[in-house]
Amino acid sequence: MNKFLTILFITLISGMAFSKDFYFYKGKRIDLKPREDKISIILNNENYSEISVKESFKSILKAGDKLTKVTDKIYLLTFSSPETQTDIQNRISLIMDQKSIVKFSSKTYYGTSRKVIMLPSDRINLRLKNSRDKEKLLSLNILNNCSLDGFSKDERNFIIKTNDNNSIDILDITDIFFNSGLFEYAEPDFIYPEKCLLLSVPNDQYFSSQWALLNTGQLLSTGSSFSLYGDAPTVNGIPGADMNVSAAWDYTTGSENIKIGIIDSGIDSLHPDFQKAGHLLPGYDAFNDMDGSAVDVGNHGTSTAGLAGAVMNNSIGISGVAPDCKLMSICIFDINGNTSNSVIARAFDTAVARGIDVLSNSWGGLTPSSVVTNSIDNAAINGRDGLGCAVLFASGNDGHNPPLYPSVLPNVLSIGASTPHDQAKSPGNGNFFFWGSNYGEDENGDLDMIAPTNCYTLKAGGGYEPYFWGTSATCPNAAGVAALVLSVNNNQTRQTVYSNLAKGCDKIDNVPYGINKVNGKWNTYYGYGRINALNSVRLASGVDVTPPTINHLNIKSCSSTYPSEINAEITDQDGSSVPVSGGNQPKLFYKIKKGSGSWSGFDSTTAYSVDGNNFKFKIPSLGWESEVKYYIRATDINDNEITFPKHSPNAFWLCYYKVGNITTDTRKFSPFSGADFGATLSYPVIFGNFNILDTKVIIHMRHTYLDDEVIQIFSPITDANNNRKCLFASNGGNGDNIFEASVSDSASLNWNSGNPPYLNSNFKPEYNLRGLNGNNANGVWRILHFDRGVTDYAFFDSVKIILSKTTGAASSCVKLNNPADSIINFDTTSFPDVTERNFYLKNSGTSNLVITGSNFSGTYAPMFSIVNTPPTTILPNDSGCFKVRLNTNITNTSPSESGSTQNAVLNILTNDPSKPIIKASLQTNQPLGFGSKNLVLDILIEGLYSDVSNSMIPDSLTVMLRKGYAPYQIVDSSKSLVNNSGRGSFNFLNSDNDTNYYLVVKHRNGLETWSSSFHKFSASLMTCNLTDSISRAFGNNLIKKGNRYCIYSGDVNNDGTIDAQDVSLIDNSAYHLNSGYLKEDLNSDNIIDVADIGLADNNTLKEIAVISP
């Protein structure tokens, strides 16, 4: 026996020690979750009748057990009740004793979705690393009693099966082959029985409204009978909450050159709504590997195909999204709803061979498979003669993060679900409370976009299905739009099609699209948004009708009576900027309700600050118990307009916040038990009459296998589209319990970022709780629990709801909406003028503004006085007058506040909770001259001056007047602000006219600098320019930047020398990541970093120091 075979024999012996519950996918171990309710039985061959098989196992079956034929040689045993793994192993041993007919019996497993059944067959999918190793593969087969069952043309892809009477579990044999090192992958060819991969189950009630194509707000029947759990039998959608298909049809209804492949359960080729010459291409039965698929074996593929491409204008039924494109049925299921990895791979390979353009896949939930991934990637990359097929998958119906495999693969589009109100379908909203579409992302890929669900479509047998739900409906809707996009330009690559679909999406809901991805702005719940056929079709034609993207996070309610700042990032779909001036500049619209009053009409404002694509708006200052609703509107250069939230000013979607004295109200539910496989409502709690500002829920629940669990909060809001919010949906896998985990919008983690029991952690909900904000809390609240599996009961030991609200206390509010509201300008006032100004203090609050006093402060405070009787009480929406007098003829003025940069400040004491002291700046156009001397100084500071822009960051500095002879005593000093042009105005009270002084300048981190010559006041005025010549400073102690001269920066410790001590201080501050207005920040960028170190170090090398007489 050669060395290779010896190693394989050792591997075989060691591999049989125990059965494995894992396999490897792309080098990563995939741990399987054994089911407690089913096992599989694989027979030696297909020659046994179903009657004889059931008779053989009769003695093993317990009362209530069910033995089901999956294929001629595979049976599924479903237990009457869940069993332990020990009991299951005992059952398998009893079955294995039937050696005359049984090849082996095996555990079954859950997929990535709880509803998926994974049944190991007797086959393995393999791919050799090197085709020359085929002989080694054949040797492996001999050692492991296996044989070839299929291979590819390049003799690298193989399917092998175990031979008759080979009782080794297929997972053990798979591991042996994988560990040989010969294969890129070696994976079980799992069987997926009973239609478990399909992502909806049709009903049979007729309905005739296709809101997904054109939503006018019409009355829609939901098909739900779960009114006890909050669902409504009918709803009115929001106009425009659709895919805008009817508008896209003005440009194309599809092209017969574009072929949509429906990889599903087949298409009923006799359905009247498919009857058009050449509309249905010859189908393919991938399960049996044969041409021809004229029936729908699962009553599912006909429904998905109808949404994508039912015939239009035939006076019956419906229209598909792309009615003039051709359809091909690619059936991957047998008549019992079974399929396998190898069947799925064969379906995609055939689609490529048949030249299919778009592939719609309304199924998923299996664990990763290399043979499936490779076949999908091959279609996406190499299909359409190298342009790539557009491959779309349903994201899944579990309502959690992330999407199911294969939809999460990077080369496909993962399609979630939207409702007639343009919400992401989550458990609780959009009716059918028990399901929601998967969202988010993992290391493999992400949700790409969402599309309508619960749609009217076709049904196998010639009928119609009014309530086709799940992401099974969303995928063909999106696939139809992809076909329309290709119809106007069939030379697009797959990536271009994906880009046009993504960039054309509407950014719906009151959520921020703040994550930058390859095709623009992205959101965890919505991907790039809800599909818009018109936008995408026009983009494919080179015409931009797609509006800008507004990225904004609804501001929180607060207690501050200052103006509310609204920040928004606004970009066009191609990343370019939007107009920042004129009629098309972004605007914010808002309306206000004060106390028990009525809502105002909408007012508007433009941004007060624009920095690139970031816009800042202000909503005026308000008193407590004031409510605000707002939205933002933006337009691009092509006049394409959008609002945030989408559909504003529809009241359902307006942003909301409240100003008030914020507190919380908490209710705790009595402990209750949740049903096993069913819905349960908790005992009620009741909240009082107040508006909700924020919601937090804390959960303590015991349950094994959390993947079964869906937990929703059920509020008394009457709107069935907004009254339930999903907190938790099928997370945690087979982990147990949730212990004191809190759920809130402000959390930073998704549930899939944690692990059971999630002790004291904080997680985001499965759908935003923000939709509750602004609604009245009054009424009965419950927890709605839904258990998806038959395993265990849930025990809710403690659930708390914490609602933020205001105390109801009103308040005054001094209106300070812009700088002019706190400035009293006396214009040009000079000695010996007396000027009076009226200053009106406005109360925009909800209660009286009480004035308890006032005073003046600042350098020239003695010159100012109030000459009327100031108000003591100002009513809401009224104002009070302060008549302020400036008298420049007042003598003996002296500084009352060192370093004041304004003439004086009027301080008014109020009962405003955020502004107890109102400071009104008292300003004049020119510095006050009486009683002082004024120096106008031109000076630049090295670290703050840019020779590129010829401007300086404003900062304050001190000028000292020194006598013109030794010992050069200080006569006076003044501190003032130097503006961005390098000019400052300095006032001196103790100086004389016509007297020589040296000017000595000191800056917080600049080098003390002396003037080179004497200067003196003439008529109380002096000017000096230290920027136009190096000789202006004593000893030429200036540095040249561009064409101007600056004082040196870097003397941080102000010892007169820029040296290593200064560099060390800056370096230490940078090391500790200090920031702000600090002496070490030489360039005033509020960050101490290498730029500051380099500036000081350079001056240190020059040995820069003070030079004085």
Residue indicated by tokens 């050159």: 257
Q: Has residue 963 got a pLDDT over 60? A: yes
d(Cα 474, Cα 527) in Å, to the nearest integer? 14
Architecture in CATH for domain 550-659: Sandwich (2.60)
Distances in Å between the alpha carbon of 458 and those of 280, 452, 467, 786? 15, 16, 10, 30
Averaged pLDDT, 661-684: 95
Structural contact between residues 531 and 504, judged by C-beta atoms closer than 8 angstroms: yes
Q: Where in the chain is the domain with CATH 2.60.120.260?
A: 662-806
pLDDT of residue 550: 95
Q: For residue 869, is pLDDT > 70?
A: yes
Is residue 893's pLDDT more than 70? no
Q: Which two tokens stand for residue 663?
A: 């507190």
Instruction: Report how far residue 62's alpha carbon sits from residue 60's, in angstroms, rounded to the nearest whole number.
Output: 7
Of the listed ranges 196-200, 215-219, 1045-1049, the one predicted with least confidence: 196-200
Binning pLDDT at 50, 70 and 90, where does residue 217 land?
Answer: confident
Torsion angles phi and psi, residue 827, rounded to 5 = 55, -140
Q: What is the pLDDT of residue 900?
A: 33
What is d(CA 1107, CA 1109) in angstroms, rounded to the nearest whole number? 7
Percent of the chain surpassing pLDDT 70: 95
Reply yes or no: is the peptide bond before residue 870 cis, omega within 30 of 0: no
Torsion of Cα atoms, 188 then 194 then 198 then 202, to 10°: 180
Question: Given the structure tokens 């179903």, which residue do they identify?
Answer: 50
3-class SS string, 291-322:
ECCCCCCCCCHHHHHHHHHCCCCCCCCCCCCC
At 3 the pLDDT is 42
Cross-strand bridge partners of residue 1077: none
Domain 935-1101 has CATH 3.10.300.10: no
| Lowest mean per-residue pLDDT among 603-607, 821-825, 866-870 | 821-825
User: What number is the average pLDDT over the span 87-106?
Assistant: 90
Indicate where the chain has its CATH 3.40.50.200 domain(s): 219-540
pLDDT at position 901 is: 44
Mean pLDDT within 322-327: 96
Q: Which has the higher per-residue pLDDT, 1002 or 210?
A: 1002
Average pLDDT over residues 8-20: 44
Q: State mean pLDDT over 77-104.
A: 90
| CA Rg value for the chain | 38
Locate 841 and state its tokens. Answer: 């203090």
pLDDT for position 153: 75
How much is the pLDDT for 2?
A: 44
Reading phi first (left if > 0) and then psi (alpha if -120 to 50, else beta), residue 155 is in left
Inform me whether the pLDDT recorded for 868 exceeds 90: yes
Question: CA 812, 818, 820 angle in degrees (round to 5)?
Answer: 100
- Burial code of 551-560, b = ≥16 C-beta within 10 A, e = fewer? bbebbbbebe
pLDDT of 831: 60
Q: What's the start-to-end Cα distance of the chain, in Å?
A: 102
Q: Where are the alpha helices (DSSP H) in 608-687?
A: none
Q: How confident is the model at residue 927 (pLDDT cuts 50, 70, 90)?
A: low
931 confidence band (pLDDT: 50, 70, 90): low
**Residue 929 binned pLDDT confidence (cut-offs 50, 70, 90):** low
Q: Can you tell me the distance from the alpha carbon of 922 to that of 608, in angstroms, rounded to the nearest whole number?
A: 24
pLDDT tens readout for residues 333-342: 998 889 999 9
Report, as an integer, the average pLDDT of 107-114.
86
Q: Which residue has the higher pLDDT, 276 or 17?
A: 276
Mapping DSSP to helix (H, G, I), strand (E, B) and coil, where does residue 539 land? helix
Task: Tell me the average pLDDT of the chain.
Answer: 90
pLDDT at 830 (0 to 100)? 66
pLDDT tens string 538-595: 999 999 889 999 999 999 999 999 999 999 999 988 888 999 998 899 999 999 999 9
Selected residue with higher pLDDT from 675 and 891 = 675
What is the distance between the alpha carbons of residues 854 and 871, in angstroms, rounded to a whole number?
11
154 pLDDT higher than 80: no
Output the six-digit token pair for 1027. 């920027």
| CATH 3.30.56.10 is the classification of domain 219-540 | no
pLDDT value of position 479? 98
pLDDT number for residue 205: 31
Residues near 14 by beta carbon (within 8 Å), at least 6 away in sequence: none
pLDDT at position 314, please? 85
CB 453 within 8 A of CB 419: yes
Element (H, E) at 851: strand 849-857
| Residue intervals in the chain for CATH 2.60.40.4130 | 935-1101
**Per-residue pLDDT tens digits for 1050-1083:** 999 999 999 999 999 989 988 888 888 889 999 9
The pLDDT assigned to 199 comes to: 61
The three-point CA angle 206-209-214 to 5° equals: 160
Give the mean pLDDT of 246-263.
94
Each residue of 298-324: pLDDT tens digit? 899 999 999 999 998 887 888 999 999
Contacts of 220 (CB under 8 A, 6+ apart): 209, 211, 234, 235, 236, 237, 420
What is the CATH topology of the domain spanning 662-806?
Jelly Rolls (2.60.120)
pLDDT computed for residue 14 by the predictor: 37
Q: What is the mean pLDDT of residues 524-547?
A: 94
Q: What is the pLDDT of residue 1?
A: 37
CATH assignment of 819-923? 2.60.40.10
Using a pLDDT cut of 90, give the percent of the chain over it. Answer: 69
Report yes or no: 427 and 786 within 8 Å, Cβ to Cβ.
Answer: yes
pTM of the model: 0.75
pLDDT greater than 70 at residue 746: yes
Indicate the range of 388-392, 607-611, 706-710, 890-894 predicted with least confidence: 890-894
DSSP run (H or E) holding 341: helix 341-353
pLDDT at 632 over 60: yes
